[in-house]
């Protein structure tokens, strides 16, 4: 069994640590800040199908893994995802599109009256497609649970130390700490979200993974949404965003989503290529969200946060061995779906690290060419 060093304590790093330790590998995970400090602790908390047939298996495997974590209390059936549309024709088109990408989601168009019936907190005037997916969880819960599982299986988790791969003559030797420390390892897994590109190849020659910053707002309110709610264009979020023309902050691009867990409701979110101050956008997001869910206008804001989606150019993660460096592996670039597909992808990479024949689809390999 190899000694494996993991860089990054997000959902991917923690999943990989738990899975490697379960199989008997000796694992050390290094996190520059604290577990879940990136998007894995600050996302919207929707475990949902990623609308991409190539990623569907990763989602299913992730749900199966989450079912084994008692902390998450995943219900037997999903609560359902409502993709909202002002225009009934838009909802029909979206349903047809999903039917070809993911027929198992059983897309069904709801007219305005049906929408109000199944989701009474919504304002009038919305049609929707209802999909058989969606498990709301507290945003940081999965990462924390997997971190605990990894520790209980003997993985060593180090927080507060930034590290990078230690490579000599095209072969990994371990990792180098920012404090000058050296940690030998047989294999190194880069699971550092949007920071992964420069760790895999400091010269910038490898695949770019760009940060797309998202602000979400947390509100407290007695009655929440029964489903996960998303503006129907949500599939367009899985893409790189360009720097906006100079303009007012009120022009900032956002798409409505709402994920309710008990009396806490996370609404989102923005899509910008630079960091933003979440507090400055909280009221704007609540104002926009109130057009869909009027009761949010009177709800108490209990938090606002920002984090970065690790966005690849083709909307798919990079999995497996890094060409040209023996012993270096990567699992990163999950964009807006890392909580829903990350643990499933970590499992494929763990298999590869442990020497099993790779089952990573060609369209997800670390060495694929992305236009």
Residues that bind ligand FAD (CB under 6 A): 7-13, 30-33, 37-40, 43-46, 162-164, 191-193, 195, 199, 214, 216, 268-269, 307-310, 332, 334-340, 342
Our CB check for ligand FAD shows the closer of 85 and 269 to be 269
Nearer to ligand FAD, 6 or 115 (CB): 6
Q: Residue 49 Cβ, how far from ligand FAD at the closest point, in Å? A: 10
Q: How far is the CB of 267 from ligand FAD (least distance, A)?
A: 10
Q: 49-60: buried (b, 16+ CB within 10 Å) or exposed (e) per residue?
A: bbbbeebbebbe
**Of residues 5 and 115, the one with the C-beta less far from ligand FAD:** 5
Whole-number minimum distance, CB 111 to ligand FAD, in Å? 27
Q: Based on CB atoms, which residue is closest to ligand FAD, 109 or 330?
A: 330
CA distances from 254 to 78, 122, 193, 212, 250 (A): 25, 18, 22, 12, 10
Is 62 or 109 the residue whose CB approaches ligand FAD more closely?
62
Q: Shortest Cβ distance from residue 124 to ligand FAD (Å)?
A: 27
Least distance between ligand FAD and beta carbon 256 (Å): 13
Q: Which residue number, 32 or 218, has a Cβ lying nearer to ligand FAD? A: 32
Report, in Å, the least distance between residue 92 CB and ligand FAD: 25
37 or 296: whose CB is closer to ligand FAD? 37
Residue 252 Cβ vs ligand FAD, minimum distance, rounded to whole Å: 13
């Amino acid at each position: 069994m190899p000694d494996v060093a993991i860089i990054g304590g997000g959902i991917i790093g923690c999943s990989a640590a738990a899975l490697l330790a379960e199989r008997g590998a000796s694992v050390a995970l290094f996190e520059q800040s604290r577990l879940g400090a990136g998007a894995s602790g600050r996302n919207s908390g929707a475990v949902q199908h990623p609308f991409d047939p190539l990623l569907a298996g990763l989602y299913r495997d992730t749900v199966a893994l989450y079912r084994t974590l008692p902390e998450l209390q995943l219900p037997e059936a999903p609560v359902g995802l409502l993709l909202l549309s002002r225009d009934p024709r838009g909802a029909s088109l979206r349903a047809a599109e999903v039917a070809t990408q993911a027929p198992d989601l059983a897309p069904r168009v709801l007219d305005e009256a049906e929408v109000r019936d199944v989701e009474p907190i919504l304002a009038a005037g919305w049609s929707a497609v209802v999909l058989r997916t969606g498990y709301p969880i507290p945003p940081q819960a999965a990462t924390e649970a997997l971190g605990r599982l990894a520790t209980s299986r003997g993985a060593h988790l180090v927080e507060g130390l930034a590290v990078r791969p230690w490579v000599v003559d095209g072969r990994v030797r371990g990792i180098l700490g920012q404090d000058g420390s050296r940690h030998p390892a047989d294999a190194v897994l880069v699971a550092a979200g949007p920071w992964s590109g420069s760790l895999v190849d400091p010269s910038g020659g490898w695949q770019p993974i760009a940060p797309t910053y998202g602000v979400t707002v947390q509100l407290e309110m007695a009655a929440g949404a029964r489903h996960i709610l998303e503006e129907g264009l949500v599939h367009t979020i899985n893409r790189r965003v360009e720097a906006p023309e100079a303009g007012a902050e009120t022009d900032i691009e956002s798409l409505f989503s709402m994920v309710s867990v008990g009396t806490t409701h996370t609404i989102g979110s923005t899509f910008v290529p630079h960091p933003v101050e979440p507090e400055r956008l909280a009221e704007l997001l609540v104002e926009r969200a109130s057009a869909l869910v009027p009761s949010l206008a009177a709800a108490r804001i209990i938090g606002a946060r920002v984090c970065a989606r690790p966005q690849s150019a083709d909307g798919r993660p990079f999995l497996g061995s890094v060409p040209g460096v023996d012993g270096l592996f990567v699992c990163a670039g999950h964009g807006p779906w890392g909580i829903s597909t990350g643990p499933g992808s970590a499992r494929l990479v763990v298999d590869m690290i442990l020497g099993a024949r790779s089952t990573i689809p060609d369209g997800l390999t670390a060495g694929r060419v992305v236009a």
